[in-house]
């Protein structure tokens, strides 16, 4: 099977077969990353522009490393040091970048739908590295890659996502991806951070539970989100201390979960707010494993978007 889409705008638009293809391809690239020489010529001659309108540490570095591991030529754009400060529009900025014969634009933007809008104007492929509160597809893909390596299958598995659901693009992409592959998703967080009718998102199997201990009682994995104060127009909780008492995951809350339950976090973590020190560094946490898998997942996306087909010769 070959990936036939020009862009990766979100997991909402992918089929289960396409998601599985990305995960299988990522698994092959994970093996490359374990070699002494971690570089392959799969994207030699391809130019990738990383266009980030919002701050990022993990995602930006992970994409750049993935591009370099695939032997692509890489250029970077930062809003703070660009002509955006002089009033240049998003469309003009990206069309100018494309005019430099860029093949793939990896973009993060604060407006939901910015990538879909730009995909209508550009011949270059667009990869969504986060758009507003809408989607963060490669984060969900690396989350699923991490779970797939542990479980083998998603059918019948239960994942609980805890925290600021309303402002989380990670939550939305995970809901789409996990439910399409057969997992059940429970959402838990303050009512002020829970969107109305969020249960209708995804392919079924989504529920909401406001009691943290009930929410994790049957979970095979929990994915803990930070509170996104930068996206809140008004304060939606009394204090960080009170939030941790009710929705923070510490040893007591995790005791309500099965012993095999994995602990995930997309980062950046606020220790003592949504997760305790002991849990973040505990033996159930797969948080750094998620970061490692991020490079392989993004290599797979870039490789497939560029028209690659996973064969042994491609990754030699």
86: annotated active-site residue: yes
201: CB partners within 8 A, 6+ apart: 172, 175, 176
Q: Which of 30, 60, 108, 180 is catalytic?
A: 108
> 222 to each of 138, 186, 217, 283, how far by Cα in Å?
18, 9, 10, 14
Residue 283, exposed/middle/buried by CB under 10 A (0-12, 13-18, 19+)? Answer: exposed
58: annotated active-site residue: yes
Q: Which of 58, 116, 213, 284 is catalytic?
A: 58
158-162: strand order across its sheet: 206-208, 184-188, 158-162, 221-224, 262-264
Q: Which of 4, 36, 81, 86 is catalytic?
A: 86
Q: Which of 25, 47, 59, 160 is catalytic?
A: 59
Give strand pairing partners of 221. 159, 262
Q: Which of 30, 60, 115, 136 is catalytic?
A: 136
Provide the pairing of β-strand 47-52 with 125-131. Answer: unpaired
The alpha helices in the chain, defined as continuous H runs, are: 16-33, 58-69, 90-99, 114-119, 137-151, 169-180, 212-216, 240-247, 251-255, 277-280, 287-305
Greatest Cα-to-Cα distance within the chain, rounded to the nearest angstrom: 57
191: CB partners within 8 A, 6+ apart: 210
36: annotated active-site residue: no
Q: What is the dihedral of CA 172, 177, 183, 184, to 10 degrees?
A: 20
Any idea what the Cα angle at residue 74 is, between residues 124 and 103, rounded to 5°?
Answer: 15
**Cis amide linkage into residue 268, ω under 30° from 0:** yes
Contact yes or no for 52/130 (Cβ under 8 A): no
Active site residues: 58-59, 86, 108, 136
């Amino acid at each position: 099977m070959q990936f036939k889409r020009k862009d990766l705008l979100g997991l909402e638009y992918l089929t289960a077969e396409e998601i599985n293809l990305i995960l299988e391809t990522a698994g092959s690239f994970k093996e490359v990353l374990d070699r002494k020489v971690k570089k392959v010529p799969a994207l030699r001659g391809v130019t990738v522009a990383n266009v980030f309108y919002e701050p990022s540490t993990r995602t930006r570095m992970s994409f750049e490393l993935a591009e370099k591991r695939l032997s692509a030529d890489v250029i970077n754009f930062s809003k703070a040091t660009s002509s955006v400060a002089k009033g240049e529009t998003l469309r003009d900025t990206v069309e100018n970048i494309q005019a430099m014969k860029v093949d793939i634009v990896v973009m993060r933007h604060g407006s939901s739908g910015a990538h879909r809008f730009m995909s209508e104007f550009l011949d270059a492929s667009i990869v969504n590295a986060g758009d507003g509160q809408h989607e963060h597809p490669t984060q969900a893909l690396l989350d699923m890659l991490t779970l797939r390596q542990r479980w083998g299958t998603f059918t019948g598995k239960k994942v609980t996502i805890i925290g600021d659901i309303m402002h989380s693009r990670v939550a939305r992409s995970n809901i789409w991806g996990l439910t399409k592959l057969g997992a059940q998703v429970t959402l838990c967080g303050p009512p002020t951070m829970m969107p109305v009718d969020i249960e209708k998102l995804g392919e079924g199997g989504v529920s909401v539970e406001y009691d943290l201990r009930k929410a994790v009682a049957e979970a095979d994995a929990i994915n803990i989100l930070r509170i996104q104060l930068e996206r809140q127009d008004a304060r939606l909780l009394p204090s960080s201390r009170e939030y941790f008492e009710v929705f923070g995951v510490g040893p007591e809350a995790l005791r309500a979960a099965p012993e095999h339950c994995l602990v995930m976090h997309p980062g950046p973590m606020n220790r003592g707010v949504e997760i305790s020190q002991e849990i973040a560094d505990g033996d159930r946490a797969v948080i750094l494993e998620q970061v490692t898998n991020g490079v392989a997942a993004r290599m797979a996306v870039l490789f497939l978007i560029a028209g690659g087909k996973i064969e042994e010769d491609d990754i030699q």
